[in-house]
Each structure stands twice: as C-alpha cells, then as structure tokens.
Structure 1
C-alpha cells in the first residue's frame, strides 16, 4: 500500500494506491476536517469516479463531517474497458477494505450500479455500518425477469437505495418491498441525468440526492431523523 505525497491545498483530494489480488486499486480521499464516519463509494461497470453523483457527494459531504473515499477498482486503474466478473470485483473490494477503516470511524459501504451490487454483497461480512446503493441495477434494461433483488434484500445492514425515476435498470415502482430505505430522484436516468424539459434542473436533482444521503448519514450517527421513505 502506497500513498502519494499529501497535497496541502485546501479541499484537495489525496490519492492512495492499494494492492489487491486483482491488481492495484486506488482510493481518492475527500477528507472532512472533523470526520464522524467514512463513506466509501465504488464506481459502476461503465465509468469511473468522475460520475456526477459520486463527485456531487465528494463535494457536499466533507463539510458535514463525512470523509468520502471514491474507490477505483483494479480493472479501471489498469485502463481496461470491461469490468471483470462480479467475483473479481468482490475480491478487489474485500482486499482494499482495511485501507478504508480509520480508528474510531464507522464505514458506510457504497457504490453506484455495479459498485452498489458489490457493496450489497459484501457489507455484512466486512462490518460496514450500512450500505448506500446508487442506481442499483435491479435488472438489465428490458429484462425484468433477470432480477438482482436478492442482493439488495440480503445486505444484512441498514440500506439506502437512491434511484432515478426513469432508470432503465429499474424504475422505483419495480423495486420490491423490503427492509431498506428508498429515495427517488425524479426524472433521473441511470446516471441521474434529467431531461432539459424536466421541471427541475440537473443541479436540483443532484441536490435531492446529496441532501437525502446527508440526512441519512447524519441520522445514523445520532443527529437528525432521516427522511428516506421505507420500501413497503
């Protein structure tokens, strides 16, 4: 495990390389000055940590006492285009988990799309405080019979799903009832992009996401009451 020299510029992220059996992973840290917890978030199979939702969380949460760790899987660090099998993704995530654990700070396991599946599958065994599932891919587009609901329903820890209202991988009304919380970003697609003609702007859509996640994380640490709706 190696770290790049610390950047002393205000709010500048710090990058850390972590060796895993699947290759070198990379963590980009957005540190809170007085952290209360760590939110570790993995990317999807079609992109990296530049995703709009991950960047929005990295900007919004550190001032609220949440250190955000954006995690790049080894295949992405190596410059490959295609993600490996789920088993390999889980292997990389498990191996880098110790680097996410800081003394006295609970860790929330998060991810978007394929990264959300990884977080759901491994949360209980790794001791995650909870799961944040962004754009959970409930099924492949147009294939509702290929449901991945079991991964979501069996996390074994408190779980929040944040889903776009127009996500082709699973619209809000397709999700089964269960012991998890649900936050809809109206009009958002799988990347939380909203149409130009939507009655809310892209900035407003992302604020719904970041505010909802912030309320949930704050409530988990004994402050606030949370406002995510329970899936019935």
Structure 2
C-alpha cells in the first residue's frame, strides 16, 4: 500500500509516494530522470522489492514533473527541489539513502554530503552525453562523499560500465558498480538478449537489496 504527500519547495510543489516497509530500518529516497517520472521500470521494481527487506522507498517527483512540464529545469533548480524536500524523507528518524536515476542520480551525488545522506544509489548515472565521452561528469559521482552504488546497463550510451573510474578513484567511502547485462539507459534489454526483461530487473533489485543490507548504518 502506497501513499503520497505534496511537499512545497523553492522550485515548486514536489510529490513523494511512499512504499513503506512494515519494520523499516532505513529509507531509500529516489527520484526520476529528465525524460520520465517515477513510472520508470527500475524505480517501480525497487518499490516492489525493497519494502519486504526493511527498506521504505520514497519515490520523489520533482516539481517540474508535478507541474506537468515536459522539460527538466537547470541542475541548480533540481538541486533546490531535492534539498527542500529532504526533511520530509528524513522526518521518520531513519537513515536515508539518496538515490536517483540518470539526472536524479546526479542530483543525489551533488547534494549527498551537505544533506547528510547515509549513502548514494546512482541508477543509470549519465557519465557523459551519448557520443561525447570527453564531457565527463565523473567529478559529480566521485564527489558524493558517501558510500555509493552505481547500477549501470551494459549498453548504456550515457556511459558503459567499463568507462567508469575504478574504486581507487573514489576519495571517501566505498564505491561499487554493478552491470545489468545488455541493458540500455532505461534498463530495457533486447529480445535477443541472453536474459529476459524480468531477469534484468532481478539483477538490479538483487544488487541494490544486497548493498543496502550490507551498509553499516
């Protein structure tokens, strides 16, 4: 059973849809990317898989999505919305893991240290624009300042797993990267792949669940 709440921010009204655990030990607050909302397949999968593991999932819709706009605003505005809604996901007194997919992952990385996030989950982190590896956003990822898990599709044009910096480049905390074979930026896998769409999502949810379970919180 999910429930939602509206939170006013400096960027407009955001919406949080809660998928609570019966006996939660932490909260995963996770937002969408610039091209979609919380209906993304990976976010839906996490909302279904994690509450039985003691993780309450807060799916966050940024103000521009709540307002019905088609284009995401500048990063500074995205960060404002995330900062201002943070007290609403932290109010339950549990450790909060900051997460997001694509642009949402960038927001989580940029703000994790200042908000005191327990860890960061980066789904489909857009390491660079497609075909532009020289435009690297690795500094955002490496500057998160908290234990970080990246879950990346093996065929993500925004950055394939082999393009990411190694763990030795991460200056603080633990950094892990899990590949979902054959998957694209939205974790879709082609029909000819050696695993089904459900199996791909199981790789994702299994990795996230195990990582969250191993965090020393």
In the alignment, the residues of structure 2 paired with residue 17 and residue 207 of structure 1 have an alpha-carbon distance, to the nearest angstrom, of 31
What is residue 216 of structure 1 aligned with on the other side?
211
What is residue 96 of structure 1 aligned with on the other side?
85
Shift of 1:221: 4.4
What is residue 185 of structure 2 aligned with on the other side?
190
Alignment of 1:1-232 (within 5 A): 12-177=1-166, 178-179=169-170, 180-221=175-216
In the alignment, the residues of structure 1 paired with residue 19 and residue 208 of structure 2 have an alpha-carbon distance, to the nearest angstrom, of 16
* Deviation string, structure 1 residues 38-67 (Cα, Å, up to 9, x no partner): 000010000000000000000000011000
Q: So what's the TM-score if we normalise by structure 2?
A: 0.96
What is residue 7 of structure 1 aligned with on the other side?
none
In the alignment, the residues of structure 1 paired with residue 198 and residue 13 of structure 2 have an alpha-carbon distance, to the nearest angstrom, of 34
- Secondary structure of 2:58's partner? strand
CA RMSD of aligned residues (A): 0.8
* Deviation string, structure 1 residues 81-127 (Cα, Å, up to 9, x no partner): 00000000000000000000134310000000000000000000000
In the alignment, the residues of structure 1 paired with residue 66 and residue 160 of structure 2 have an alpha-carbon distance, to the nearest angstrom, of 31
- Secondary structure of 2:110's partner? helix
* Deviation string, structure 1 residues 13-54 (Cα, Å, up to 9, x no partner): 101000001100000000000000000001000000000000
In structure 2, the gaps of 5 or more residues are none
In structure 1, the gaps of 5 or more residues are 1-11, 223-232
Moved over 2 A (4+): none
Shift of 1:176: 1.3
